[in-house]
Amino acid sequence: MAAREEVSSLVERARQGDAAARHELLASHQEYILKVVSWRCGRPVDCHSDEYSIGLMAFNEAIESYDPARGAAFLSYARRVIAARLADHYRRDRARGREVPLEVTGPEGETETHPGVISAAEEASARERERRERLEEITAFCAELAAYGLTLEDVAAACPRHRDARARLLKAGAALAASPALLAHLKRTRQVPLKELAELTGLSYKLLERGRRYLLAVALIRANPDYAHLAGYVEPYERGWQG
């Protein structure tokens, strides 16, 4: 892990739009993120877990919202943001369930399982199934990114800071995924067809070149119907890879 002064310098550069600095921060602090997430969860986690993904996005969020004038070291601040986002995650999970009696008495005096218990069990099963599906998607997506020499951390680091730029790249990624010819070119050459995509979308070549990693990830997700959960992160004009 980098020294405190170096971390502060990287954070400042990342906040000013330096994608390389952001990538270095994310890549060099994977162990730190895992450590904080494991501490907050009370158990060991790995980089394929939902909690790690939440921690990674929270760390990225911390880069954006950190204010050195408040006096806290960046990593201390990032730890609080990660803990808060994980707490939000667990709070939402708890809110889906309510405590109910295990049994109720029927009209003839018989006892039977409370419908709420059955419902809660079904909800818990559905949540666990959804968790497994998300994990499978993330694992598959990481493998697909690796074929292009990228990691999930690269994608997080490449997420544009400004909403307008992110919206344009989401549009470009969607257009790339929707074009059989351009998508075939991407998969054959492992290169984003920037010139053709600029002509198709009307977006500037410079913007597409600068955001090619991000729009590549968007295109891969939108082109794969198996990424149902990940698709929620790349809906045009709404959300992107951000915390």
| 61-116 per-position pLDDT tens digit | 888 888 888 888 899 999 999 988 888 877 776 655 544 444 444 444 444 444 44
- Which tens digit of pLDDT belongs to each residue from 13-53? 888 877 778 888 888 898 899 999 988 888 888 877 888 88
CATH number of 4-94: 1.10.1740
pLDDT of residue 211 exceeding 80:
yes
Sign of the alpha-carbon torsion through 146, 150, 153, 158: negative
Q: How many helices (H) and strands (E) does the chain have?
A: 12, 2
- Please give the helix or strand (H or E) that residue 113 lies within, else none: strand 111-113
Residue 215's pLDDT is 94
Kindly report the CA angle at 10 between 49 and 239, in degrees rounded to 5? 50
Task: Please report the pLDDT score of residue 49 as a whole number.
Answer: 81
Q: Return d(Cα 235, Cα 232) in angstroms, integer.
A: 6
Which residues make Cβ contacts (< 8 Å) with residue 138, sequence separation at least 6? 48, 50, 53, 152, 230
Give the pLDDT score at 193. 96
**Tokens standing for residue 167:** 């919206």
Mean pLDDT, the chain, whole residue set: 80
Parse the chain into domains and list their residue ranges: 4-94, 114-243
Rounded to two decimals, the pTM is: 0.53
pLDDT tens for residues 109-160?
444 444 444 455 556 666 677 777 777 888 888 889 999 998 888 888 888 8
The C-alpha angle 140, 143, 147, rounded to 5 degrees, equals 140
